[in-house]
Structure 1
């Protein structure tokens, strides 16, 4: 083919429309973000999260205390109490408790339906608040985390990054702050009081509890004993 023929062919070849090229770039960006998100979740399945977006925010505001502890160094009483308080069917669901979600919808804003798995995703990877973008990302990332992590790992990460008081994050910092003891030494009553400050730790105290916190702690202690007796702690305590 001569030069004139090649030029004619180039003129006939149409460039892709701008919108199609833009769509291709957006698609590649979304796929790259998804791959990075999965890699991030997989990494935290074996490595302790060094910090979280919320800890960074609170660190700038009031300072943060946190000491990571493996599950073996956290009292099983606290694990049971937190599960009883926040997500009694933690060992039974795949990241979403549909019964709790339906109950939350029926109750309107009076109660929440988030599982410990969802809260772990929110606390470890996302930002606080009730925006739809965050909820959408949470819904996408929770099944991925449940697939890649064991239930015991989910609870271990949660217990190490959840806020128990203003600037107090994780079981070890909370046990030291409120009771002056390691997280491994928490008894059932102390564990229930710590669980009772959730999900409003900045307005509640485990060491100087209000009457409502004491009543909630008693209820949590009973719930913790129940899930220990009926086997609903099997995924993390056995």
Structure 2
């Protein structure tokens, strides 16, 4: 009985540490010199595949990228606290009615998933993701959040971060990406394996054109990062 109780206590302690560790790392990652890696990067290392990622400061990333990514992934990024509850409630309502809706993941939610969780549509993951996103949004500045997101996002097999993506797809640096290149990279984010920014199909090109128009009109929507 004592041995069984000890095993249960260890299991509970391990679960608690697993749940608490991301919140500790959020505090650590607030330090500007920290360069977080994603769970996908770690998985590539474990699989002995390696990956390409060169960290760049937000100051060395073209404003075209910030505008395009924000308008594509999270237009209310500057105005919510990690979760866009209005969009989330719409998705929940649509799901209950049996409608097919797009996801309501914000940039903080995607960043939390990339850093601490896993891919795929799992209800348990979403439950864990929301408080992590809200905590990260509270602890980090919006500029820091965007900097981390753009440096851990996947843009191809083993290609992580905007600098590696710029060099892999367009043979340039993140600081020199044009509006078109930024738009193509932004609209490829939901599925960068199938939507190849450097070899866009007609659908991807149409999305990029729409994204360019939105980015040009973004104005105050991106002020928390670019002002």
TM-score, structure 1 as length reference: 0.82
Aligned counterparts of 2:22 and 2:188: Cα–Cα separation in 1:
31
Aligned counterparts of 1:194 and 1:37: Cα–Cα separation in 2:
28
Question: Deviation digits for residues 15-44 of structure 1, max 9, x if unmatched?
Answer: xxx99x999888876665555332211111
Structure 2: tracts of 5 or more residues without a match: none
- The aligned length equals 217
The equivalent of 1:8 in structure 2 is none
The equivalent of 2:155 in structure 1 is 164
Gap change, CA 1:85 and 1:36, over 3 Å in 2 = same
- Within-5 A mapping of 1:74-93: 74-93=61-80
Counterpart among 49, 69, 78 of residue 56 in structure 2 = 69
Counterpart among 47, 51, 54 of residue 40 in structure 2 = 54
Instruction: Please state how far the C-alpha of 1:133 moved relative to its aligned partner.
Output: 2.4
Instruction: Please state how far the C-alpha of 1:134 moved relative to its aligned partner.
Output: 1.6
Question: Deviation digits for residues 172-211 of structure 1, max 9, x if unmatched?
Answer: 0000001101100011111001111120100011111101
The equivalent of 1:41 in structure 2 is 26
Structure 1: tracts of 5 or more residues without a match: 1-17
Gap change, CA 1:25 and 1:110, over 3 Å in 2 = same
The equivalent of 1:222 in structure 2 is 213
Whether contact under 8 Å (2:78, 2:221) holds in the other structure is: yes
Question: Deviation digits for residues 49-94 of structure 1, max 9, x if unmatched?
Answer: 1x22111224427542111111011111101100000000100100
Q: CA RMSD in A?
A: 2.4
Aligned counterparts of 2:22 and 2:44: Cα–Cα separation in 1:
24
Question: Deviation digits for residues 84-113 of structure 1, max 9, x if unmatched?
Answer: 000001001001112221332326443111
TM-score, structure 2 as length reference: 0.86
- Within-5 A mapping of 1:63-212: 63-105=50-92, 106=94, 108-212=99-203
Whether contact under 8 Å (2:68, 2:182) holds in the other structure is: yes
Greater CA radius of gyration, 1 or 2?
1
Whether contact under 8 Å (2:83, 2:106) holds in the other structure is: yes
